[in-house]
Structure 1
Amino acid sequence: MARSISAAQLGIQLKPDDDASLFKWFIASFLMGKRIQAPIAAQAYKVIVEEEGRNTPRKLQHCTSRELVAMLGRAHYVRYDETTAQRLLDLSARLNADYGGKITRIRQASEDRQAFEQRLAEFDGVGPKTIEIFMRDAAQVLF
């Protein structure tokens, strides 16, 4: 990924204890963490979160894989679209089940940044690149 897209460039204003903005940035980071061009990932974020209003873990969890694949397709995010859709659904379901849908609860359950990043890595499809992108902007409001 040659050029990094920040949370602010996507219109996400990260603030301490603001789960809404942290979730949006987590989804954007997840999409950008894949082998796909950043502008396409950013467009996929905009389609899913802004246009379709899937801006909370609960709203995201309650759409179908087929609906998500269609949203990704509208953004031309067609590489890995089936797995990405399923992982987004799994991610939101796990975030809801394990942390009440809140990134700040992951932070509260973690003794330090390393433990927090380890918990993020436990989500299917969240690897080092996604964590790096997410923490680049989120670390200042989480730690």
Structure 2
Amino acid sequence: MGRSDQVAELLRRYGQTYAQQAGIKLADKPSPLYRLLVLAVLLSARIDADIAVVAAKELSKAGFRTPRRMADATWQQRVDALGRGHYRRYDERTATMLGDGAELLLDRYRGDLRLLHDAAESTRALEQRLQDVPGIGPTGAAIFCREVQGVWTDVAPYVDDRAADGARKLGLPSSPKGLAGLVPLADLPRLTAVCVRATLDDDVAAQGMARG
């Protein structure tokens, strides 16, 4: 099996992004961008990614799909939504961070992450601005940038250290340019998702190598 076939098979089997798992149809619009940011906050905690995804769905189901709706919700309403997603170890702290983060986005960017994007002069500056949001550190900023690069194409090709490690495990190029050369830009978030899974699941890495 050639590399193109290997990549196609990996995408077919493992190429679901966190946003797709959470039911977020990413677009350059305020609500899906904010929902991705909330998901990045949840994934940043030391908690199973599947639980973070379910918790993100519960917050969305509760209507907290924009900074205004998140800020207007009571702290207890945010805690309850996180609890329904079984996000219980960090529910109270995270509920506070989500409220504080929503207020920050409203104050600085009128609740529109596109304005944050416009204000960032580089991908590095984008990462730094994202890390001003409570609950978003380097890991959360990397998750957001990996997934958003399909719609914010100036961010691409974005391959953080974890994705690069996974690419090496799969026998794929680990540089941003090399990895991006394997797929259309629209599929790069999916390919980096495969690479991240290879760092978390030895079976993914082994199957990837077997197909190389």
TM-score (norm 1): 0.90
Higher alpha-carbon Rg: 2
Q: Could you say which residue in structure 2 is the equivalent of 1:32?
A: 43
Displacement of 1:140 in angstroms is: 2.8
Query: Is 1:12 matched with 2:24?
Result: yes
Identity among equivalent positions (%) equals 37
Query: Is 1:140 matched with 2:150?
Result: yes
Q: Could you say which residue in structure 2 is the equivalent of 1:56?
A: 66
Displacement of 1:10 in angstroms is: 2.1
Higher relative contact order (CA 8 A, sep 6+): 1
SS of equivalent residue, structure 2 residue 133: coil
Counterparts in 2 of 1:1-143, with a 5 A limit? 5-15=17-27, 17-49=28-60, 51-142=61-152, 143=154
Aligned pair count?
Answer: 138
Question: 1:40/1:5 Cα in 2 relative to 1: closer, same or farther (>3 Å)?
Answer: farther
SS of equivalent residue, structure 2 residue 25: coil
CA distance, structure 1, for counterparts of residue 57 and residue 24 of structure 2: 11
Asked if 2 retains the 8 angstrom alpha-carbon contact of 1:5 and 1:38, the reply is no
TM-score (norm 2): 0.62
Partner amino acid for 2:143?
Answer: I
Asked if 2 retains the 8 angstrom alpha-carbon contact of 1:60 and 1:89, the reply is yes
CA distance, structure 2, for counterparts of residue 80 and residue 14 of structure 1: 26
CA distance, structure 2, for counterparts of residue 5 and residue 47 of structure 1: 18
CA distance, structure 2, for counterparts of residue 43 and residue 27 of structure 1: 12
SS of equivalent residue, structure 1 residue 140: coil
Q: Could you say which residue in structure 1 is the equivalent of 2:206?
A: none
For residues 93-112 of structure 1, the C-alpha deviation after alignment (integer angstroms, 9 at most, x for no partner) is: 11011100011100111111
Note the residue ranges of structure 1 that are not aligned, 5 or more in a row.
none
SS of equivalent residue, structure 2 residue 96: helix
For residues 61-119 of structure 1, the C-alpha deviation after alignment (integer angstroms, 9 at most, x for no partner) is: 00111111111111110112111000000000110111000111001111111111101
CA distance, structure 2, for counterparts of residue 124 and residue 11 of structure 1: 23
Note the residue ranges of structure 2 that are not aligned, 5 or more in a row.
1-15, 155-212
CA distance, structure 2, for counterparts of residue 114 and residue 135 of structure 1: 10
